[in-house]
Structure 1
Amino acid sequence: MHPMRKQFAANDALPVELALRRTKHLQAELPDHLHDWLEIIYVHGGTGSFFIHHTFYEMQAGDLYLIPGNTIHKTLPHPDEPLTSSVVFFSGQYVQASSIGLDAYSFLQCFDSARTTRSYRLALLPEDRARLEGMFDEMHQELAAREPGYRQAVLLQLQTLLLHLNRKISPGAANVPANFSRPSWLQNALIEIDVRLGEDMSLPALASQASMSPSYFSRLFKQHTGLNVTEYVIAKRIMRAKELLADTDRTVAEIAAACGFDSLPHFYRMFKKIAGDTPAHYKRKQ
C-alpha cells in the first residue's frame, strides 16, 4: 500500500508550504493522498483529471481548487499535456488563530463551503487570475528571502488571499460544478462505500452490485479514480476515525469497530500508516 499522507513539519514556526509553478507528469505524480492541512491548487497550464471525494473534474488553465483537510484527492495529469500548477498547503488553525475575539472572521469559509456543497472548484475572472498569481509570487519571494518579518508577511498574504476567495463564494457567487461525467455504477459504488464503512465490505460484493467481475470492476475503478479499491476503503475508514476521535468521547476500540476494523492492531497499523500518528496521540492533539 502506497503512503497516502503528505508529510508536513508539524512543529514548524510557519506551517505553510508553497510549490510554485511545478509541472506534474503522470509518472511523477504523488500517490493519492490525504492530510489534515488545507490545500489551494491553481492551474497555470496543461490538462488532466482530478478526483476529489466523489467529484470528478477536467482540469484546465485558470482553474482554482479548494481541498479541505482530511479529504481524499488524486490528480491524473494528461500524458501529452502535463499540468503546471501552484499549490499552497497550510494549517487552518495557524491561519485562523490571529482572528479570535468578538468580531472574529473565519478565513476558512471557502473550505467550509467546498466541504458542505462538495463543489471544490472556483470560477475566476481573468483579473482574479492575475491577482492570484501575483499573491503566489509574493509569498514565494518572502519564503525564499526569509527577511525579518517574513512569517508575518506570508500569513498576511495568505489571509488576504483567503478573504478574496471567501468573497467569491458570498451569496450570489457559486462554485463551479463538476464537469466530468462518470458512470452511474461508479457513483453508486462510492456512495455504497460511504454508507457501509462500518460493515464488512468486499470487492466481489461491490463488483456484483455493478454487474461486473471483481477484476474488471477493480480495473475500471482505478482507471476512473486513480485509486485502488481496497486502499480507498481503508483511507475512507481512517478519515471517519479521525472525525470521531476529534469530535466524540468514544474509546479507540469503539471507534475502530464503528469504522469497520475487525481488530485493534489492524486499526492501529492502518491509522499510523495513513495518518502518521497513533489514534490516542491524534485524539490528544485535537
Structure 2
Amino acid sequence: MRLHIRYDHDIPVNVFRWTPSPVKQPLHVHESLEIGCCVSGRGTFYFGNKTYGVGPGDLFIVNHQEEHIAESDPDDPSVYLFVNFDPSLLLAEDESLLLPFAYSPERFQNHIPAGSPASRSIVPLIEAMHEELQHKREGYLTAVKSLLLQACVGILRHFAGSPGHRLRRLESGTRRKLGRAVAFLERRDGSGDIGLKQLADHLGMTPSGAARFWKQTMGYGFHRYVTLRRIRDAKRELAATDRPIADICFDCGFQSLATFYRLFKEHVGVTPQQYRNEHPVSDIFENE
C-alpha cells in the first residue's frame, strides 16, 4: 500500500504523534523519508521480513522504498513521534545527508537503539521540531529545517561508524546529478515554467531518462514535484499579496482555474480563498 503525504506547512516537513494499533496492520510505503522515535510504551516495528522490538528512545529510519508498519504492545501501547520530509530538503543543503536513506532494504538495520549516542542527540531534536510546529512562533519554519538537518547529520555519523553500512551506495555520479538537478530547480524558484524537458536538457538526459532518474532517487514522479512546487509558490502569493487568485494561478504555471482549485484543495485541504482568509496579508503588516 502506497500512502501519499500531504505536508501541512510551507516546507515539506511533518512531525506528528501516533499510537499504533495493537493488531498488526498492512505494511505500507510512502514517497517521503521518515524518522520514527518511540517516546513511551512498548511494541514491534516491522520492515518487510525484519522485526524489531521497540521501547522508549528507539529510533527507526525509513526510505521511500521499504514497506513497514509499527504495532503496539496491548498492555503498554507505544507512542511515537514521526518525522516525514521530502528528500529535496537534504539535497538542497548537502546531498551526503541522503546517504543513510539510500539503503538496500534486505540488508539494512533500520534501528538506532535507545541509549546510543545517536539516539541521545537526535531524540531531543525531534521533540523540538514537534514543539516548533505545534506553537508556530516567529521563525519556526527555519528552526524546524535547522533541527531536521542536525538530526540527519547525527544519523549520517551514526551509520558512517556502523560496520557493514555502505554509505557509498549512492554513487558519486548520482549524487552530483541530484545536486545539479535540485540547484537548477531552486534557481527557477517563483517561475511557473518548470518542465521535465528543461531539467533533462540541463542534465544531458532524455526526458524519459530524467523522469526515471527522478522517480528512482526521489521516490515520486517529477510531475508531482512540479505540482507541489507550484502550490507552494501559490500559497506564498496568497498569504503575502492581495493579487487576484486567477493571476496567481496562471503565474504559478497552472493551466486552468479549475485544475488549480482542485489540486490546491487536494494538497492543502482548503480552497485558495479559504487559505487566503486564514492567512490575510493584513496580518503581515499589522504592526506597521
TM-score bracket relative to the smaller structure: 0.5 to 0.7
Deviations 1:176-216 (A, max 9, x none): xxxxxxxxxxxxxxxxxxxxxxxxxxxxxxxxxxxxxxxxx
Query: 1:155 maps to what in 2?
Result: 145
Q: Cα gap change, 1:173/1:162 in structure 2, threshold over 3 Å: closer, same or farther?
A: farther
Query: 1:143 maps to what in 2?
Result: 133
Q: Give the length in aligned residue pairs.
A: 182
Query: 1:108 maps to what in 2?
Result: 98
Query: 1:237 maps to what in 2?
Result: none
| Offset, 1:115 | 4.1
Among residues 55, 58, 62, which one is paired with 1:60 in the alignment? Answer: 55
Identify which of structures 1 and 2 has the higher relative contact order when contacts are C-alpha pairs closer than 8 Å and 6+ apart. Answer: 1
Q: Cα gap change, 1:155/1:116 in structure 2, threshold over 3 Å: closer, same or farther?
A: farther
Deviations 1:56-111 (A, max 9, x none): 22223332110111321122222222111111111011232133xxxxx5112221
Consecutive unaligned residues of structure 2, counting only runs of 5 or more, are: 166-209, 228-288
Q: Cα gap change, 1:154/1:280 in structure 2, threshold over 3 Å: closer, same or farther?
A: closer
Q: Cα gap change, 1:79/1:139 in structure 2, threshold over 3 Å: closer, same or farther?
A: same
Query: 1:118 maps to what in 2?
Result: 108
Query: 1:201 maps to what in 2?
Result: none
Q: Cα gap change, 1:46/1:174 in structure 2, threshold over 3 Å: closer, same or farther?
A: farther
Query: 2:11 maps to what in 1?
Result: 14
Among residues 2, 24, 27, which one is paired with 1:32 in the alignment? Answer: 27
Identical columns (%): 22
Q: Is 1:246–2:212 an aligned residue pair?
A: yes
Q: Cα gap change, 1:70/1:77 in structure 2, threshold over 3 Å: closer, same or farther?
A: same
Q: With the length of structure 1 as denominator, give the TM-score of the two structures.
A: 0.53
Contact 1:65 1:120 in 2 (8 A): yes
Q: Distance in 2 between matches of 1:91 and 1:60?
A: 27
Report the aligned-residue RMSD.
3.6
Q: Cα gap change, 1:280/1:62 in structure 2, threshold over 3 Å: closer, same or farther?
A: closer
| Offset, 1:113 | 4.0
| Offset, 1:13 | 2.3
Consecutive unaligned residues of structure 1, counting only runs of 5 or more, are: 100-104, 176-243, 250-274
Q: Distance in 1 between matches of 2:5 and 2:41?
A: 27
SS at match of 2:156: helix
Q: Distance in 2 between matches of 1:47 and 1:32?
A: 19
